[in-house]
Amino acid sequence: MIRSAIQPADATRRFLDGSHGLLIDGRWVQGEGRAILVENPAREEGLCEIRAASLDQLDMAVAAARAALSGDWGRMGGRDRGVILNRFADLLDANVDLLGEVMTLDNGSPLSSSKMVVRFLAAELFRYYAGWASKISGESFEPNIGARPGQDFLVATMRQPIGVVGAIVPWNAPPGMMAMKMAPALAAGCTLVMKTAELAPLVGEIFGRLWGEAGGTPGAFNIIHGHGEDIGAAMAAHMAIDKIAFTGSTEVGRKIVHAATGNLKKVSLELGGKSPVVIFPDADLKIAIPAAAMACYLSTGQQCMAGSRLFVHAEVHDQVAEGVAAFAKTLKVGDGMEPDTILGPAISARQKSRIETYIDIAKAEGATAALETAPIDGPGHFIGPALFTGVTAGMRIEQEEVFGPVLSLIKFDDEQALIAAINGTRYGLSGSVWTSNITTALRLAKQIDSGQVGINIHAAMSPETPFGGNRESGWGRELGREGLDAYLKTKAVSIALGPKI
């Protein structure tokens, strides 16, 4: 029973109380692996119990994906794949209330954010890639120097699906994380085995149901549950999976790379971050202060692009520090089902205690707690926003990803030292620069070593915009045209034209 002032809709309750399973080859089956008790992090109550896939069931899912690749799905033209992806997008919109509530109960996100992820990230991604499905093409050209002098030949390139994709996603925004892999992979003609995150697995099941409703080919999209250390690791090492598309922590990304060496499968990685937000004195502080606070605190800091390092010019340092602390105090922490909640809980007791450990580390390193919220009574893994001033480059709180609402404020007055500090972590995912001087903004944008930089905006995302990390924040790019290319391989076909004349 879920205790909240706002009860979920009947459809959500029916879904939670109904049967749960794995979608393998178009059929729902009970998992034969470990039991997973799915918890509502805002209430510390069980939502339902599901079962992970066994290793045999993983093999069955991979076999189904391979059969679909050489069967109906593989034979389907891009135009028809696009029709299915568009239908899937419409079904996401039509089920936004169910998907949003399930995401909120599963991972604690405020309901409005959950619905936004469904509509403006997931559904729009499917629409965007539905368009690409019919526009995949190679090129042709006549090489300048032939393999055989005196012979003319023509080269035609074919763009073909990479094959069977193993997708592994985190818990923080399941509809978006799944769509970022599923939509381009299916548009490219690949087939998938998607492993849900054990901490928030339920939205994956709804995706599986909607795949059937959209008329998706059985076996082209399979959903399995499982823990990372067994099923995730087995996917990474699986000899019949051609590519792993992974989003999660840098530590696990590294393990996946090692595990993938057996068949040298392709690997794309979207990993952690420690993104900088830079405020210059000429920034519009009315906008920059709340934006900088939310760059870090959004999703209770549990987002890969979190702007967890706030670099502020000495001239406006105190004003920004006071402004961020004052703004943070207005953010309501609570159950994501309550309409006025801005910050939901941490995903788990373990994650909450990890965040608290980082708060202790910051204090031990000599940073000043400019804002520390009082402990919040349970049940629920709640933790309020924290702000540290006096942070300097090299402190652990400045270097390591907390994945929680802990913001480090770093004073700067020298641009060269600023750039060195910004690029002085192992991460390079995102960042933003706040100034009214476009030259300053572009000079910084050029030098920040990260996959995306915002100018007077943080963490802007759209289906068309390539997204990914530099250095230990990832390999490759998702979204946009590059996101499609990541699921295609190129074959060069050379055609002899006869002797050169």
Give the SS3 label for residue 269: strand
CA gyration radius for the chain? 24
Is 304 a binding residue for ligand NAD by CB under 6 A? The answer is yes
Query: What are the backbone dihedrals phi and psi of residue 310, each rounded to the nearest 5 degrees, phi first?
Result: -105, 105
Choose the stretch contacting ligand NAD; rule: CB under 6 A; options: 102-110, 129-137, 245-253, 482-490.
245-253
- Cα dihedral 349, 274, 434, 283, rounded to 10, equals 60
Indicate which single residue of 270, 335, 398, 472 sits in contact with ligand NAD (rule: CB under 6 A). 270
Q: Quick count: other Cβ atoms within 10 Å of Cβ 150?
A: 8
Give the SS3 label for residue 387: strand
Residue 351 Cβ vs ligand NAD, minimum distance, rounded to whole Å: 8
CB 99 within 8 A of CB 140: no
Is 334 a binding residue for ligand NAD by CB under 6 A? The answer is no
Amino acid 304 reads: C
Q: Pairing between strand 266-270 and 243-247?
A: parallel
Indicate which single residue of 4, 249, 319, 465 sits in contact with ligand NAD (rule: CB under 6 A). 249
- Is 190 annotated as catalytic? no
All residues at 6 or more sequence positions from 301 whose CB lies less than 8 Å from its CB, including other chains: 308, 355, 385, 402, 403, 404, 405, 406
Amino acid 16 reads: L
Among 270, 398, 472, 478, which one carries the catalytic annotation? 270
Is 228 a binding residue for ligand NAD by CB under 6 A? The answer is yes
Is 236 a binding residue for ligand NAD by CB under 6 A? The answer is yes
Q: How far is C-alpha 493 from the geometric centre of its chain's CA atoms?
A: 36
Residue 367 Cβ vs ligand NAD, minimum distance, rounded to whole Å: 22
Q: Encoding tokens for residue 481?
A: 């045209």
- Is 338 annotated as catalytic? no
Is 403 a binding residue for ligand NAD by CB under 6 A? The answer is yes
Among 39, 304, 398, 472, which one carries the catalytic annotation? 304
Residue 310 Cβ vs ligand NAD, minimum distance, rounded to whole Å: 18
Give the SS3 label for residue 81: helix
CB 297 within 8 A of CB 290: no
Indicate which single residue of 50, 197, 316, 407 sits in contact with ligand NAD (rule: CB under 6 A). 197
Choose the stretch contacting ligand NAD; rule: CB under 6 A; options: 231-239, 373-381, 440-448, 492-500.
231-239
- What CA–CA distance (Å, rounded) separates 236 from 124? 29
Q: Which is nearer to ligand NAD, 8 or 253 (CB)?
A: 253
Is 277 a binding residue for ligand NAD by CB under 6 A? The answer is no
Is 50 a binding residue for ligand NAD by CB under 6 A? The answer is no
Q: Encoding tokens for residue 91?
A: 């079904």
Q: Which is nearer to ligand NAD, 384 or 469 (CB)?
A: 469
Q: Which is nearer to ligand NAD, 67 or 169 (CB)?
A: 169
Q: Which is nearer to ligand NAD, 86 or 172 (CB)?
A: 172
Is 233 a binding residue for ligand NAD by CB under 6 A? The answer is yes
Q: Quick count: other Cβ atoms within 10 Å of Cβ 37?
A: 9
Residue 262 Cβ vs ligand NAD, minimum distance, rounded to whole Å: 13
Q: Encoding tokens for residue 108?
A: 């604690």
Is 172 a binding residue for ligand NAD by CB under 6 A? The answer is yes
CB 59 within 8 A of CB 222: no
x/- map, 464-483, ligand NAD, by CB under 6 A: -----x----x---------
Is 170 a binding residue for ligand NAD by CB under 6 A? The answer is yes
- What CA–CA distance (Å, rounded) separates 20 from 205? 8
Q: Tell me which residues touch ligand NAD (CB under 6 A).
A: 168-172, 195, 197-198, 227-229, 232-233, 236, 247-249, 252, 255-256, 270-273, 304, 401, 403, 429, 469, 474
Q: Which residues are catalytic?
A: 270, 304
